[in-house]
Structure 1
C-alpha cells in the first residue's frame, strides 16, 4: 500500500482567509531575525495582527481531508490549521503562534502574554516567538527530510517554491524516486478530489 505524505505551504490556507506572503508585500523582510532584533516592538505588532487573523480562521476542505485520511503533514505554515482540522501527525517546521519563550531563563508562555508585554515577566528579557525567522536555522529540518523520505507519494500543496526550503525538500523527494504531485491552486477543491481518487485506487 502506498504511503502519502503532504507537504504544505501558505496556499493551502488561502481559502481559510489567511493571505499568502506574496499578498502581504514586504512581510517576508519583516519576519527576519535582523528585523526582530532591531525593531522588536514593530515586529510583535505585525505578529499580533497575523495572530488575530489566524485566531478567527477555520480549516478548509483541504486541511479537513488530510486529517480525515490520517495523512502525515509537514507544513511551512504557522497557522496551526492542520491541527485545528484534527491532523495528529503534523510537523510545523516554521513553528507556530501558540507560545513564546525566553532564552535567558528558559521560560515558556502562551502567545497572548505579548499583548501585555514583549518582555519576560520573570527576568525582563525580550521574549522570542516560537517561529523560525528568515536568517534562522530550521531545527526540525532533518525530521522533515525523514518524514518526506518515508513517502511513496509526496503531495505538495500551496507552495510557490519561493523558499529554498520548499525547493530542497521537493528536490530530495524526486531524487529519492518518490512520486511528487503538486496542487498549488484551489487546494480546497482539488485536494479532496485527488485524495478521493488515490484512496479509491489504494483500497480496491
Structure 2
C-alpha cells in the first residue's frame, strides 16, 4: 500500500472501533520533547542506570535532581500536539477504548484522553521517596526536602530498579488482548513490555498498525507500517474518516 492507501485503511479500521493506542516518546517529540533512544535522544548523552535509578535517588540526589530538572521535567509551554488531540477525539467518539503509554509527560490527559494507562508512571504527582506523602512541584524543583519527614522528593516515574505498576500492566494486557485494532505511535518497540503488547494483539486477531519514523523489530508482523510524522499521518487518517 502507498501512503494514501494506508491512511484510508487505518481510517476504516478506526471507524470500526475497538481501537487501542500504544504511544512512545516519538509521539511527544512532536510537542518539542526529546525522545530516548535515537542518536540525539536523552540516553545518547546520559546513562539511565546511573541517573534515573533508585540508587541515584538515594545516594546521589543532587545529580538525580539536576537530570530531571534539565531533561525530563515538562515545562508549561509544552502542549499536546495534533497527534495527542486526534487520539483524544477518537476516544471521545467511541472509536478508541484505551491508551497505553510509555510516556511520563501526561500530554495524553492534557489533550483530553481519559482511559490512559501509564506503564512508566508520570512526572506528577510529586511525592516523598521515604514516606510517600505528597510534595509540590516547586519544592521538588528547588531541591527542598519533604516537609513531613525530611526525605527526598521525587516524581512518580518508574525508576531503574523499580517494578512497573501492576494495575497498568494488567489493564494493558486486557486491552491488547481484546481490541480489533492496535495502533503503535512513536515507539521503537525494542524493550519489554513495549514489544509484548503488539504481539499480544496480533495473537488475538487484531490488526496492527505501526507509525514510527524509524523501522521497528515488529514491522514484519504489522498490517500497516508508516515511517512518517505521526501528526501528519493521523491528520490524513482523520480526513479520510470524515469522507467515508
What band does the TM-score fall into relative to the shorter chain?
A: 0.7 to 0.9
Cα distance, 1:190 vs. partner? 1.1
For residues 99-154 of structure 1, the C-alpha deviation after alignment (integer angstroms, 9 at most, x for no partner) is: 22225433112333212335211111223320011222111211221222231101
Residues 184, 121 of structure 1: CA spacing in aligned structure 2 closer, same or farther, 3 A cutoff? Answer: same
Q: Which residue of 2 aligns with 1:14?
A: 29
Are positions 1:50 and 2:71 aligned together? yes
**Structure 2 CA distance, aligned partners of 1:41 and 1:150?**
44
| Structure 1 residues not aligned, in runs of 5+ | none
Contact kept, 8 Å, 1:21 with 1:27, in 2: the verdict is no
1:103 to 1:39, Cα distance in 2 relative to 1, 3 A: closer
- Of the candidates 59, 62, 81, which is equivalent to residue 41 of structure 1? 62
Are 1:160 and 2:160 an aligned pair?
no
Equivalent runs, 1:1-204 vs 2, <5 Å: 1-22=16-37, 23-24=41-42, 25=44, 26=46, 28-29=48-49, 30-70=51-91, 71=96, 72-139=98-165, 140-185=168-213, 186-197=229-240, 199=241
What TM-score do you get using the length of structure 1 for normalisation? 0.88
Q: CA deviation at 1:43?
A: 0.9
CA distance in 2, matches of 1:7, 1:49: 26
Q: Which has the higher contact order (CA 8 A, sep 6+)?
A: 1
SS in 1 for 2:88: helix
Aligned 8 A contact 1:6 1:74 in 2: yes
The whole-number CA distance in structure 2 between the counterparts of 1:172 and 1:195 is 26
Distance of 1:88 and 1:163 partners within structure 2: 26
Larger Rg: 2
How far off its partner does 1:36 sit? 2.7
State whether residues 85 and 112 of structure 2, in contact with CA within 8 Å, keep that contact through their aligned partners in structure 1: yes
CA shift, 1:155, in A, is 0.5
* Equivalent residues, number: 201
Provide the aligned C-alpha RMSD in A. Answer: 2.1
TM-score (norm 2): 0.74
Q: Alignment partner of 2:208: what SS?
A: strand
Q: Give the distance between the partners of 1:54 and 1:92, measured in 2 at CA.
A: 19
